[in-house]
Amino acid sequence: MNSTPAVVLAEPDNPLLTYLGIRLGALEAGRCTFELDVEARHLNRQGSLQGGVTATLLDAACGYAGLQAVADGRPGNAVTLMLTISYISKVNAGRLRAIASVTKAGRSVYFSSGTLLTESGVVVATAQGTFKRSLPTSEA
């Protein structure tokens, strides 16, 4: 990786993630983990995890994995250019963990891949994405 300063973030600074109950597990250079305890509000009509919640978890983990710190340690921003999700297993309860890492990065565009797992290690979904870094809104 490069020698950029570490991103300092105790919780996601994203109102949607907070609303959904998605918690930051870990954030380090090139890697990110988010967690979610599945609740009834996260389920679809068939009683399994809503696909949009799966996509949100993987998008956040893949996106945050490539964030670089700005001068004060806050994370910069990024936008999703492309995200491909493969839905593999159904889940309707328990704790989920989205683990992502950067596979390749340039100056502004980076590629990440992620996996959504149950506590017992069952793969729920995988993702590959392309992201573009941008300045924090206050600096744009």
| Residue 3 pLDDT > 90 | no
Give the pLDDT confidence of 103-133 residue by residue, as tens digits. 999 999 999 999 999 999 999 999 999 999 9
Give the pLDDT confidence of 43-71 residue by residue, as tens digits. 999 999 999 999 999 999 999 999 976 66
Mean of pLDDT over the chain: 89
| Token pair of 29 as six digits | 């250079």
| Token pair of 130 as six digits | 């392309």
Q: In this structure, are strands 123-134 and 109-118 parallel, antiparallel, or unpaired?
A: antiparallel
Contact predicate 129/112, CB 8 Å: yes
| Residue 5 pLDDT > 50 | no
Tell me the whole-structure pTM to 2 decimals: 0.87
Residue 58: its pLDDT value, please? 98
Q: In this structure, are strands 23-28 and 95-105 parallel, antiparallel, or unpaired?
A: unpaired
- Which residues are bridge partners to 127 per DSSP? 85, 114
Contact predicate 69/8, CB 8 Å: yes
| Residue 8 pLDDT > 70 | no
Residue 2: its pLDDT value, please? 46
Instruction: Provide the residue type at 119 as one letter.
Output: E
Residue 1: its pLDDT value, please? 42
Q: CA nearest 113: which of 127, 133, 130? A: 127
Residue 135 dihedral angles phi and psi, to the nearest 5°: -70, 150
The CA-atom distances, in angstroms, between 67 and each of 88, 95, 135 are 27, 25, 10
Contact predicate 110/77, CB 8 Å: no
